[in-house]
C-alpha cells in the first residue's frame, strides 16, 4: 500500500487519473482506495520500489 499524503479538494478533477496513468505507463497495475484525507494505491509487492520511483518523479515535476 502506498499512501499519497496530499489533501486535495474534491473539486480538483484529474489528480487521481494523472497519478494512476503514470503508473500504468510504466506497466504497473494499481488498485485505488480514496479516503477522506488521503488516497491509497495498492500495487504488486514486487513492484513497490518501482512504483515509488514513478510517484517521486511525478512529485518532482509538480513542484
* Torsion from C-alpha of 41, 43, 46, 52, nearest 10 degrees: -40
pLDDT of residue 8: 63
Task: Judge contact between 41 and 24, C-beta under 8 A.
Answer: no
The CATH number assigned to the domain holding 8 equals 3.30.2130.10
pLDDT in tens, the chain (63 residues): 777 766 666 666 677 888 889 999 999 999 988 877 778 889 999 999 999 999 899 888 876
Count the domains in the chain.
Answer: 1
The model's pLDDT over 3-20, given as tens digits with 9 standing for 90+, comes to 776 666 666 667 788 888
Could you list the residue range(s) of the whole structural domain that residue 31 is in?
A: 2-62
The three cell numbers locating residue 45? 509487492
Amino acid at each position: 500500500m502506498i499512501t499519497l499524503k496530499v489533501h486535495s479538494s474534491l473539486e480538483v478533477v484529474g489528480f487521481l487519473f494523472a497519478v494512476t496513468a503514470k503508473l500504468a505507463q510504466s506497466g504497473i497495475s494499481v488498485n485505488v482506495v480514496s479516503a477522506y484525507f488521503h488516497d491509497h494505491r495498492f500495487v504488486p509487492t514486487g513492484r513497490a520500489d518501482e512504483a515509488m520511483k514513478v510517484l517521486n518523479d511525478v512529485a518532482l515535476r509538480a513542484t
